[in-house]
Amino acid sequence: MAAGRLSRTAAVAMNTYRESVRERVLYNLLFFALLMTLSGLLLRDLSIRQDDRILKDLGLAAIDLFGTVIAIFIGVGLVNKEIDRRSLYPLLAKPLRRSEFVVGKFAGLSLTLLVNVAAMTAGLYFTLAVTRHPLDLHIAKAVACLYLGLLLTVALALFFSAVTSAGLAVVCTISLVLAGRFADVVRNMPEVAPSVPRALARAVYFALPNFANFDLKDRVVHADPISPAYLAWMAVYAVAYGGLLLTGAAAVFARRDLK
Amino acid sequence: MRALPLLVAAALAVLVPRAQDELDRLRAQDARERAVLYVRSGDRLRRLAPGFRSLLADLYWLRTVQYYGAQIAYSKEKKFELLQPLVTITTRLDPRFELAYRYGATFLAEPPPRGAGQPEAAVALLERGARALPDSWRVRQDLGFSHFFYLDDAATASRVLLDASRIPGAPYWLVTLAAELLRRGGERETSRLLWQQIYEQADEAPIKENARMHVLQIEAADTADAIGRAVEEFARQRGRRPASLPELKASGWPDLPLYDPGATPFEYDPATGQVAVSRRSPVWAPGYARRPERSPIRPAPSAAPVTASPQPTAHGR
């Protein structure tokens, strides 16, 4: 029973992966990510003994930025596109639960992102190697954290994809991703605007997906230590928040009238 | 069976804030305050951003403010090492950015932990600002104040304020102030007058808050002096110094405050009879603590802080 469920979910995931890899936009984004990393070679002349740091900064920023763009724009189309193309109906006619479909879609795009992020990381390491800089293993740690953040972005995009139209889903996802990156501002709001109730600011702070949790780029570039406890809690946060979004997406999609 | 997703969702919803709390705690614990400034030449940046210089100046100014704020709020070391280059870049990108000169100079000049403790750099910045903005009496006023407050140079301060007073639109009191500085240069009372003036005149919250803080510091220093005089009087009457300030208060000085305007107890050394504002106090400042010998101290009953409530909120705000 469980094995069957798993294999059906895996089939949806692989299908999603194959489909998203066929999307030309992925190659374009990958191309730009690599281009951005390589442009670090030119930028280094503008700095004073900071070229390896710029390369790492730029490379990690590119991975973050392009990964987020991929997660949002492919993620919001995961459910809606299937409905628009009417390719969802034959799928649901098969013994496939809607929740399995949602989880499979999530897993498929996660796999696509994994491949992309891995390729971009390889590009960054390649650039460092070519410019004769040490291959800093901490970069991989930062990338792993970024990847967790990207998974949360996918879950967010998928949730909105299941809830509303593609256009609105893009707007909602981008808004929440941006708001989530400035979550600390919300937390500190009562300090600068005392009229904002502390409880409200705290509630909004916890409700927002806090993407700042996954941003360890600066700390990794400066070789600051990151405690294992932090990494563990980050993973807990990603699983909890992502799980909540996927549960919500599955629940909403299960009740959605597709006629 | 239908209840299962709900239960899972509820469990996850509880876990999210718990994990976030832990992450916040660990992040605060692990915080390493490092920042980096790649391009340190404002002129080079000007050439790199044709048509976008003002925008870039705005961005650098935002970064300056964020950097200063982050150092104040989160940094343990409070080194402010990037402050000067950031302000310099901002003002090189937009030489008429008046606010950047004025705020930047305040950030630079204030002694640690509230600023970079670089008064010379602050004065140099304001001098550059005065050249770039020949019509700005405010930049010159700040330059004069900086000479007085941070470099202890009343004569130059007075001259600069007189220069500022000649600019069309300058307030009349700049001349009076210039004369007063020249007459009583370096006195605590004059400092109070100037900071009070800045407090009343400032529109921007950080400048106003900084001025308010200085007024409170002066009040605290005055109160410490008043308590010191009471200790001397006690010793004269009884042939010994009081063992503690509460003893002094209970022995005929009921109005004597034991807390400064920052709600921190004054420090008292029974061996020497010295009373001082505690270094732990938010209103402690080295400058005012050094000046009492030069300052004519007012009699205790009329000293404003003597009746001040120990709560910091009772002051100014």
pTM of this prediction?
A: 0.55
Of B9, B16, B23, the CB nearest to A230: B23
Confidence of residue B305 (pLDDT cuts 50, 70, 90): very low
Q: Single out the residue of B89, B295, B121, B120 nearest to residue B191, CA to CA.
A: B295
Q: For chain A, say whether B47 makes contact (Cβ under 8 Å).
A: no
What residues of chain B lie within 8 A of the CB of A189, using their CB? none
- Residue of A35 and B232 predicted with greater confidence: B232
Instruction: Give yes or no for a contact between B40 and B85, defined as CB atoms under 8 angstroms apart.
Output: yes
Taking alpha carbons only, the member of A45, A47, A49, A67 closest to residue A124 is A67
Angstrom distance (rounded) from CA B63 to CA B36 = 11
Q: Mind listing the pLDDT tens digit for each residue in B92-109? A: 888 888 888 998 998 899
Among chain B residues, CA nearest to A248: B9
Please tell me which residue of chain B has the smallest CA distance to A234. B23
Of all residues in chain B, the percent with pLDDT exceeding 90 is 12
Q: Do B12 and A46 touch (CB under 8 A)?
A: no
Query: How close, in Å, is residue B290 to chain A by CA atoms?
Result: 33
pLDDT level of residue A25 (50, 70, 90 thresholds): low
From the list B19, B26, B34, the residue facing A227 with the nearest CB is B26
CA distance B35 to A86: 52
Q: Which among A222, A225, A237 has the least Cβ separation from residue B16?
A: A237
Q: Is the separation of the CB atoms in A180 and A210 below 8 Å?
A: yes
Closest partner residue to B8 among A218, A227, A247, by Cβ? A247
Q: Which residue of B has its CA nearest to A231?
A: B23
Q: Which tokens belong to B198?
A: 């800045």
At residue A39 the predicted structure's pLDDT band, cuts being 50, 70 and 90, is low
CA distances from A27 to A33, A37, A67, A216, B240 (A): 10, 15, 12, 26, 87
Distance CA B316, CA B144 (A): 25
User: Is B7 an interface residue toward A (CB < 8 Å)?
Assistant: no
Q: Closest-CA residue in chain B for A235?
A: B19
Give residue B316's pLDDT band: very low, low, confident or very high (50, 70, 90). very low
Reply yes or no on whether the pLDDT at A154 is more than 50: yes
Q: From the CB of residue A236, how many other CB atoms can be counted at a distance below 10 Å?
A: 17
Residue length of chain A: 259
Mean pLDDT across chain B, nearest whole number? Answer: 77
| Cβ under 8 Å to B: A residues 185-224 | 205-206, 210, 213, 218-219, 222, 224
Average pLDDT over residues A141-166: 92
**Contact present, B289 and B277 (Cβ < 8 Å):** yes
Residues 7-46 of A with CB under 8 A from B: 46
**Nearest-CB residue to B16 (from A206, A224, A247):** A206
Residue B212 has pLDDT above 70, yes or no: yes
pLDDT band of A237, cuts 50, 70, 90: very high
CB contact under 8 A, B39 and A210: no
Instruction: Check CB contact of B32 with chain A, cutoff 8 Å.
Output: yes
A222 pLDDT band, cuts 50/70/90, is low
SS3 B274: strand
Contact call for A48 and B8, based on CB within 8 A: no
What pLDDT is attached to residue A209? 93
Q: Which residues of A touch B39 (CB under 8 A)?
A: 46-47
Chain A contact set for B12 (CB, 8 A): 240-241, 243-244, 247
Query: Nearest CA to A52 among A147, A130, A155?
Result: A130
Chain A residues 46-75 within an 8 A CB cutoff of chain B:
46-48, 50, 53-54
A134 reaches B (C-beta below 8 A): no
Position B129 pLDDT exceeds 70: yes
Element (H, E) at B276: strand B274-276
User: pLDDT tens for residues A187-212?
Assistant: 877 776 777 788 888 889 999 999 98
Mean pLDDT of B139-151: 90
Which pLDDT band, with edges at 50, 70 and 90, does B186 fall under?
low
What single-letter amino acid sits at B197?
Q
CB contact under 8 A, B19 and A240: yes
Banded model confidence at residue B315, pLDDT cuts 50, 70, 90: very low
Per-residue pLDDT for B183 more than 80? Answer: no
**Confidence band, pLDDT 50/70/90 cuts, at residue B301:** very low
Q: For chain B, say whether A252 makes contact (Cβ under 8 Å).
A: no
Q: How far apart are CA A207 and CA A187, in angstroms?
A: 11
Residue A258: is its pLDDT beyond 80?
A: no
Please tell me the distance from the alpha carbon of residue B209 to that of residue B302, in angstroms, as a whole number. Answer: 25
For residue B215, pLDDT over 90 is answered with no
Pairwise CA distance, residues B122 & B109, whole Å: 5
Asked if B23 and A205 come within 8 Å (Cβ–Cβ), the reply is no
B44 contacts A233? CB cut-off 8 A: no
CB-based burial, B103-127: b 16+ in 10 Å, e otherwise: bbbbbbbbeeebbbbbbebbbebbb
Residue A1: pLDDT band with limits 50, 70, 90: low
Q: Which of B4, B6, B26 has the most A C-beta neighbours within 10 Å, making it the best mutation to test the interface with A?
A: B26
Cα A38–Cα A41–Cα A44 angle in degrees, nearest 5 = 140
What does DSSP say about strands B267-269 and B274-276: parallel, antiparallel, or unpaired?
antiparallel
Asked if residue B293 has pLDDT above 50, the reply is no
Q: How far does the CA of residue A99 sit from the closest CA of chain B (Å)?
A: 11
Chain A partners within 8 Å of B30 (Cβ): 219, 224-227, 230
What 3-state DSSP class applies to A93? Answer: helix
Query: Which of B53-57, B94-98, B153-157, B210-214 has the weakest average pLDDT?
Result: B53-57
d(CA B213, CA B186): 19
The verdict on a CB contact (< 8 Å) between B38 and A46 is: yes
pLDDT tens for each residue of A117-142: 888 888 888 888 877 777 888 888 88
Q: Do A240 and B15 touch (CB under 8 A)?
A: yes
pLDDT for residue B162 is more than 80:
yes
Residue B257, SS3? coil
The pLDDT of residue B47 is above 60: no
